[in-house]
Amino acid sequence: MLMGPVTELLLKQKLETEYKLELHRIREMGRKEKPSRRFLFPKTGSEHWYVFESERRQIKSEKWHKLYNYENLKRFLFDHADKIPWIDQSKNIEEQVASWIGLNFPKFKTDYAATLYEYDEVQKYAPRRETSKASAIAALRGLTTR
């Protein structure tokens, strides 16, 4: 089962394509322990609008798979491609996944390109040699949790 932001995007995509709904995101104000996402959409042939709310909770699976990192998200979607309706199994799955991520999460290639690690891993990591992980963790060490 996919949850969190990926599920939210898949649901949004399904509602727009299959049900032809015009969804508009309502931005959240402030921070909440259990963030929710709300979409506003008009009732067809009416001046009335409806609000669709989708609760989003980070689950252990998201943390285990580290889906906040591009390569991990790409691998996860590739591994579960048989469960994702927008993937055409007769075409190159990896290209479809990369294209979908690029379209729906464009900042993965720019602002969020750096690999992230959990706070505990950053604190405990003692590199033996210079690697991409060592460089990424060195950059994260200067940040605070606040």
pLDDT digits (tens, 9 = 90+) for 97-121: 999 999 988 888 888 887 777 777 7
> What are the DSSP calls for the chain, one per residue?
---THHHHHHHHHHHHHHS----EEEPP-S--SS-EEEEEEEPTTSS-EEEEEEE----HHHHHHTTTSHHHHHHHHHHTGGG-TT--TTS-HHHHHHHHHHHH-GGGGTTT-SPP--HHHHHH---SS--HHHHHHHHHHT----
pLDDT digits (tens, 9 = 90+) for 38-76: 778 887 777 888 887 766 555 555 566 677 788 888 998
Tell me the pLDDT of the chain averaged across its residues. Answer: 77
